[in-house]
Structure 1
Amino acid sequence: MAKRKIVAKELEKVNPLNKKIDKNDTTDTGVESLRLGYRTAKKTYTASKSAVHGVKLLYKAPVKTVRAAIWTVRAASTVFVHTAAILLNPLFWILVVILLLILVIAVPCVMILGGGAAGGTTTNKAVGTAAGSKQEISTIFPQAEEFFDNACTTKQNEFNSFVDSMYYSTDDLQHSDLVYMVCSNDGTVFQTSLATDNRKQQLKDKFSKSISKTEAIALVYVNLEKQKNTENNTEGQIYEIEFTQQAFDDLLGMMVSWSDTVYGGQECPQKNCSVHQEEIPNPAYDDLFYKVDMSAGAFNDWGNIIPYLENLHSIHDGHAQSQYWDNNIQWRIDNWNIVYGDFVPVYPYTSNDGNDFLSYLGGLYAGYADELDNTPQTITKTTVTCDHLHNLHSVGLNILSKDDVMAAWNFSDVDKEWFEITYKGFQVNPDINADP
């Protein structure tokens, strides 16, 4: 009996749930809560035993509830005891050592991988911000834009001067130049025409930059880096570069160009550039001269018939008169009609021995003669034609896209990707005003 009590006391010492609650201990491991539940259940159970002898039981807890409480306390005790046993087991510590070794190996690997990823991000950031420029891109970007604008203006002026050099004069159309132009970027064709001021302006207006400022700056930057890589026999490395006006002039020289082939001795489309004038006989004068001559002949020849008409009246014999008419007058009038009948609008009449008709013919002559005196013998004839004295300028205006420029500059796939990253980096950079 004494031995049983000693064992019970030892178990009570071992049972951590049976110890008093340390309210000053701020470390909450969960054990204090278990102790509270265990000691409360124990006190309740002791009080219930005392009440059986002196106090009437008012409410009896269900058996299942009591059993559940006891099971909970026992389970908690079991977990604690098993945990203590695990901590004292050598296998547990072997597992701990293995886990520590795994952590020692894994952590450096993670750091290395993380560093590599960070390095890639840093590289992309450097590419996207044109880190190779001597100054911050936010500082140098406006200057690069100015370089690009200057290059465009210079190239436009060169093209304008070329177009304006084509000869054209309204006072010398037959020697003025002809022009024909084809634009490569949109296929526009200007058919052959005189190089008038209006046509020249149309040609100048076809000059196009084809790319935005942001694209131009990204192209120039990558091309400068490409040149540095070529010098150093590397690829994709970032070197320190500097934007210059010459770099952008080179871009415009590559992007916009034109050719001019000249063909001499050409005919203009309208064939009306040349006006020729020459003195020729006046058809009206010639016509009047003919009429004057004919009317004079009609007058004179009719005057020759009048004496025969006058003699006719001196013959009193009718038969003799008839013979005289047939032999001396009729055939003369017939001949006169053959010569002048179609010219003189009036049929000849013999009243007043033919003098009345002669007077008519005299008036006809006088009218034609007066008109002839007021008509020039020659006139100036004007002929409009083309003398094939033109020079034809066959012009090809070549405007390349950014892809064409990269191809012309022999960009590799790395260079092209570099351009795309740089261009997109410019667009999203809040420190610069990049166009779309």
Structure 2
Amino acid sequence: MKRSRLPSDPESRRAFLWKSFTGLGLLAIGPSLFSGCNDDEGGDSSCTAKPGDGKPYPTTSNIANLGPLQPPDENGLMLPAGFKSKILARSGEVVACTSYVWHGAPDGGATFPTEDGGWIYVSNAEVPVPNQGGAGALRFDAAGNVIDAYRILKGTLINCAGGPTPWGTWISCEEHGQGHCWECDPKGEVEARELPALGTFQHEAVAIDPETLYVYLTEDRPDGGFYRFRPDASTIPGGRTDFSAGVLEIATLTEVDGDTEIVWAEVRDPNPADPESGDKSTATRNQVEDAARFNGGEGIFFHDGIVYFTTKGDNRVWALEVSSNILTVLYDPETHPNPILRGVDNVTVSPAGDVIVAEDGDDLQIVAITPSGDTIPLVQITGQEGTEITGPAFDPSHTRLYFSSQRGQGNGNFFNSGITYCVEGPFFV
């Protein structure tokens, strides 16, 4: 058995994990200003910028240096000094400068660079009505202007979170007992395809190891499992996971030399016909007797050999080192010295190793856990109840953060009250 490269004592292990976050570097267009389509101060518009000057994107995280959140701006967002916000889209309304009506209940999201120097932000629709879920997308030019909006998945149900693939597609997850995953083209040019090999259960999110092409999956139930899809190595075509051949596994836990280690066990029937009927013994999570239970699996993200995921029932952020299968708790509000993060949900990781977590409820913040372990609030939504923050994702320059308030000021209305935002500022310098 391959042993962990993690240090043995907890404090050193935590420090190692923070160091291991670092490593990504990108090129960029430099500083930017808000301007463009319907850009009246404080109004709804594209989150825009002037064309860049060819300088490299900033690569040093400034998140640890951000000051306290300021009073709410014209969009009801509390932000650090030097930051601005824009509303990009509202559910049930046409996206500015396009003909597309933005979907209800915007949820999980991610960004994808495009060949013209721009990028695409995809967003799920967690609408709890059959055939009304799916996912949409906002396309930006290189200056950050919205130039198009469109649907990339339709005809599904309760599309909660998901995850980007290493080859540039989006996997959207259905969060219900007979839910499946769907692979989507962010450009909307190729029809989405169902991925039954990833199992039939109450899916939340996915993350893919770009080296092994293993897929890691969370399940949003109080007694949910934590899963891995292991493709047949001989049938992986051209750097993509072959979803037609492989094994779905569920995590069991064991203690080895003081570490909690995952042992993966095969799920004999990944697609039970009626997984939530009767005694539920055929449900995907119940087919392995000693499967580990995770209290409400939520967002998940892969970075530098580690899978990070959240569980809302205990407000924890976890780290799985994939080479050793050692599982560590990175954040627990019961033990953290500054436990401002609760209602943990969607998660992403910056290239400098800041773990960015959105809250479902609590005080509606997006909070960064820095490489030193500090918790830093980045955004707080005010004046809204009965909603959650969803879909946090940076643009390629990591100076714009996209996210949504799933139900806005609609007090739980899924259909026409969601709001999708852009916050721009010196996250990186």
Q: TM-score range by the shorter chain?
A: under 0.3
TM-score between both structures, scaled by the size of structure 1: 0.13
Q: Which is richer in strand?
A: 2
User: Which has the bigger relative contact order, CA under 8 A and spacing at least 6?
Assistant: 1
Q: Which is richer in helix?
A: 1
Larger Rg: 1
